[in-house]
Amino acid sequence: MDQGIANAIIACGSQAELARRLGITGAAISRWKQIPLGRVLQIVSVTGVPKEQLRPDIYGPKTEAAE
């Protein structure tokens, strides 16, 4: 499982809870190879996990200067 997805699931407590917060099925999440770009900001909103942790390939790692 992609680390970004794992971080989001951990923040919610379960894949089912993440799916509920997003208004989708757990099966949809299980098909993700990585978080879809169109879902990143929504997941940040419902989990508080920074976008840099969800998709570091796009947003890059969070640095101290960015904090």
pLDDT score recorded for residue 46: 97
**Rounded CA separation 10/56 (Å):** 17
Q: What is the pLDDT of residues 7-46, one digit of tens each?
A: 999 999 999 999 999 999 999 999 999 999 999 999 999 9
Please check whether residue 18 is in contact with residue 28, taking contact to mean a CB–CB distance below 8 angstroms.
Answer: no
pLDDT at 9: 97
DSSP H or E stretch at residue 54:
helix 51-54
- Domains of the chain, first to last: 3-66 (1.10.260.40)
Residue 63 has pLDDT above 70, yes or no: no
Residue 61's pLDDT is 73
> Which residue has tokens 């098909």?
31
What is the pTM (predicted TM-score) of this model? 0.85
Closest residue by Cα to residue 51 from 2, 4, 1: 4
As a whole number of angstroms, the distance between CA 33 and CA 13 comes to 20
Per-residue pLDDT for 56 more than 60?
yes
Amino acid, res. 9: I
